[in-house]
Structure 1
Amino acid sequence: MEDHYELINEAWKTAELYFSGDSSGHDIDHSRRVHKLALHLCHAEGGKSSITELIAILHDIGDHKLDSDKGTELIRQLGYRFPAKAGILHEVLEECARISFSKGGIPLTLEGKIVQDADRLDSIGAIGVARCFMFAGNRGHRLTDDRRSAVQHFYDKLLKIKDTLHTDRARQEAERRHAFLNLFLNELEQDLDPPAENNLS
């Protein structure tokens, strides 16, 4: 198996530079969780670990929701430092472009599908709730009563994720996280419409 150790290390440095100061929930901590989840899924599904790592590390760099120009430049610089890896880096970036939920892409490789699953798992469950409200606050979106509100995002994306996953292990994990989304929404609905004062116990 070809060794991509140095490229992986430099990819991490690129990601850390790109996400420095991010407060949208698409930060270096998200990349680290996706990386860890992806390697777990890769072990279960039999993917190539080094390719999975590279896609996981770079999957949000240049995302249209973030600073795509900065991401493009950083990736270009990474390519300059590893001209012998240009082919593999191109394949990795092609898969990264298919990861996004909003673009509706489907990765062509097992490794890309693994990372897409890991990325989507990090959008649901307790961490998904935290990231949803983090992103909404970053963009100035309302809690409710708006088509771009934090709560509307549950219905537009988060509650749909469970049925979009590729791998068996990811689908198993999604059941628990999806259940938490429903529990949270039920609790939130009660808090948003509290009982009248004389009905409080």
Structure 2
Amino acid sequence: MFRQYQPQCESFIIEHMKTDLAHDLLHVQRVVKLATQIAESEQAELNVVLPAAWLHDCLSYPKNHALRSLSSLHAADKAIVFLRSIDYPEQYLLAIHHAIAAHSVSGGIKAESLEAKIVQDADRLDALGAIGVARCIQVSSQLQRPLYSESDPFAEQRTLDDQQFTIDHLYTKLLKLAKTMNTNMGKKIALQRTQWMEGYLQQLALEV
């Protein structure tokens, strides 16, 4: 059923998604792809998962914004207003709102439904692996943060500080995401991508 609404959701996200380079249409498309794969494996309600995946970042404050932790909740509110404007079936809206509100790490809202857990997994998976490292660097470049500390690149003698150094963010957040996955497929993909990131850091250590 959702397929008939997909073009409108895509047009909406293109128009309203205005934030950093790591949160663009390509990110949304990857999250939708992952969410679809996981939802099919879990036999979840696609009429909830797909609109939530498409619209999860329809509002996203910058990483250094004072309201950053409210991004997912505000995005959920905005998404529901839009879905009502295109007459999306009311029976799915509450579940969609929860799935969007709960997807973010910084939001701190626990994913209660299977569909919310799937959208959360899909979004977090896109922060891992090769694409995860690339997105991390994109955001840090916009914030003008150096890749690593010149005196102690891997924080062996200092406290990790991802507000100052890009690589520190892998240690403070990204390498820990695999333990937060909800679904079996999410856990499997997260482990593979985390292992790649660990290999990347090992290679980086040889080069700096």
1:147 aligns with 2:162: yes
Q: Give the whole-Å Cα distance in 1 for the aligned partners of 2:88 and 2:31.
A: 27
Q: Give the whole-Å Cα distance in 1 for the aligned partners of 2:113 and 2:40.
A: 15
Structure with bigger gyration radius: 1
Cα offset, 1:104, TM superposition: 2.8
Cα offset, 1:14, TM superposition: 0.9
1:32 aligns with 2:29: yes
Cα offset, 1:73, TM superposition: 9.1
**Which of 8, 11, 21 pairs up with 1:10?**
8
Say whether the 8 Å CA contact 1:14–1:74 is kept in structure 2: no
The change in CA–CA distance for 1:39 and 1:83 in structure 2 (over 3 A counts) is closer
Output one character per residue of 1:1-42: Cα deviation in whole Å (capped at 9) or x when no partner: xx334433322111111236x552111100000000110011
Name the structure, 1 or 2, with higher relative contact order (CA <8 Å, separation 6+): 1
1:41 aligns with 2:38: yes
The root-mean-square deviation of aligned C-alpha atoms, in Å, is 2.5
1:35-114 equivalences under 5 Å are 35-65=32-62, 75=79, 78-79=82-83, 81-83=85-87, 85-86=89-90, 88-114=92-118
Question: Which residue matches 1:131?
Answer: 135
Unaligned runs of 5+ in 2: 66-70, 150-160
Question: Which residue matches 2:125?
Answer: 121
Cα offset, 1:95, TM superposition: 2.0
Q: Give the whole-Å Cα distance in 1 for the aligned partners of 2:2 and 2:48.
A: 8
What secondary structure is seen at the aligned counterpart in 2 of 1:143? coil
Q: Give the whole-Å Cα distance in 2 for the aligned partners of 1:120 and 1:53.
A: 16
The change in CA–CA distance for 1:83 and 1:171 in structure 2 (over 3 A counts) is same
1:185 aligns with 2:206: no
Q: Give the whole-Å Cα distance in 2 for the aligned partners of 1:34 and 1:158.
A: 16
The amino acid across from 1:138 in the alignment is Q
**Which of 161, 175, 179 pairs up with 2:177?**
161
The amino acid across from 1:109 in the alignment is S
What secondary structure is seen at the aligned counterpart in 2 of 1:51? helix
Question: Which residue matches 1:196?
Answer: none
Say whether the 8 Å CA contact 1:18–1:71 is kept in structure 2: no
Question: Which residue matches 2:153?
Answer: none
Q: Give the whole-Å Cα distance in 2 for the aligned partners of 1:171 and 1:80.
A: 34
Count of aligned pairs between the two proteins? 188
The change in CA–CA distance for 1:105 and 1:60 in structure 2 (over 3 A counts) is same
The amino acid across from 2:117 in the alignment is K
Say whether the 8 Å CA contact 1:113–1:166 is kept in structure 2: yes
The change in CA–CA distance for 1:128 and 1:43 in structure 2 (over 3 A counts) is same
The change in CA–CA distance for 1:73 and 1:44 in structure 2 (over 3 A counts) is closer
Q: Give the whole-Å Cα distance in 1 for the aligned partners of 2:7 and 2:168.
A: 38
Unaligned runs of 5+ in 1: 193-201
What secondary structure is seen at the aligned counterpart in 2 of 1:142? coil
Output one character per residue of 1:104-136: Cα deviation in whole Å (capped at 9) or x when no partner: 322221111111111111110111111110111
The amino acid across from 2:15 in the alignment is L
